[in-house]
Structure 1
């Protein structure tokens, strides 16, 4: 089975998880702060939990909203090597428009401060992003998986794709909904 733009997810099912690498958790979440301060607080709480248990984070690479909050919190606790952001080229424009220092079209390396948000990789599209994030989780040690914090359509799409990949046997990692203030109640009701 191949995804659009040449992202071959069938290869993900052939990856053997490591028994020696630290666990990596992919967090899907929004570039908005959410409708309540509880959403940003949940991102910080999750980062503290990751730090306490030596869990690495792979996420969508944004520096604002819930995405930015979990990344910068974990980096402040565990250093830049604990976080890997994977951002599609198309979303760099969003990052540029949310910068207060007016970087405009300057080099990408100056756009996302790795000392604040961790290391990052720019990829060509969303499909490549999802495949790269999933590969990091699957190749990681025991305890790796996927978590969805609050977000929008992109978060929901990423969540449903990894659930589907799990059903198809492409991966066997856990998928968790972090249900802040009932954010995921509708989805949970639908699933049940």
Structure 2
């Protein structure tokens, strides 16, 4: 089966301290599977990463995990992915995740999640891709970050158009629908091999 869309999800390799975020990750995975989509993610079995992957598989979706050798044991590579790719390093992981995705979504997570989000956002601003990027701001998790970015705009280090490159939503179903729709209607060619 060819998936109707391929969504790269960035999220924590820990479950975190808010049980509602576990349910959020399950919602995202179930939505992907129910809409005949494909999850592309970091290949781990721990934390919210494992939760979203399990929920996607249980709902009938495809799961593509991409993990570097160095993290196979540390993040307990998810061996029951539809496809599991073990790569040499983090750069290869992120490049392959970006190539296999039609859109990107950040759930709650730590510095790894933020680093991946900012990288694909930067790549979009530079024209390396035209794929939609989203932030699922459940329970205001990303409010402090968004406030900081707004301050960066006010201070002249960013522009409003850069902020407009990212969709922010608090409802999983609505934001996922917007990202999937935008991914299937985009027109620009993408070549991430130069990154």
Q: Distance in 1 between matches of 2:13 and 2:40?
A: 15
Q: Distance in 2 between matches of 1:168 and 1:21?
A: 28
Tell me which residue corresponds to 2:133: 175
**Structural mapping, 1:4-43, within 5 Å:** 22-43=4-25
Q: Distance in 2 between matches of 1:113 and 1:126?
A: 19
Tell me which residue corresponds to 1:57: 39
Cα gap change, 1:93 to 1:52, in 2 (>3 Å): closer
What is the TM-score with the length of structure 2 in the denominator?
A: 0.72
Tell me which residue corresponds to 2:52: 70
> Tell me, which stretches of 5 or more residues in structure 2 are unaligned?
151-195
What is the TM-score with the length of structure 1 in the denominator?
A: 0.73
* Number of residue pairs aligned between Structure 1 and Structure 2: 149
Tell me which residue corresponds to 1:91: 71
Q: Distance in 2 between matches of 1:21 and 1:37?
A: 30
Q: CA deviation at 1:21?
A: 6.0
SS of residue paired to 2:40: strand
Q: CA deviation at 1:60?
A: 0.4
Tell me which residue corresponds to 2:79: 113
Q: Distance in 1 between matches of 2:64 and 2:22?
A: 19
SS of residue paired to 2:73: helix
Q: CA deviation at 1:155?
A: 0.6
Q: Distance in 1 between matches of 2:78 and 2:90?
A: 18
Tell me which residue corresponds to 1:4: none
Q: Distance in 1 between matches of 2:131 and 2:75?
A: 30
Greater than 4 Å deviation, 4+ residue runs:
none
SS of residue paired to 2:72: helix
1:30-58 CA-to-partner distances (Å, cap 9, x unmatched) read 11002211111011101121122222110
SS of residue paired to 1:122: strand
Q: CA deviation at 1:124?
A: 0.7
SS of residue paired to 1:112: coil
> Tell me, which stretches of 5 or more residues in structure 1 are unaligned?
1-19, 97-110, 138-143
Paired residues of 1:29 and 1:151 also in contact (CA < 8 A): yes
Q: CA deviation at 1:181?
A: 1.7
Paired residues of 1:31 and 1:151 also in contact (CA < 8 A): yes
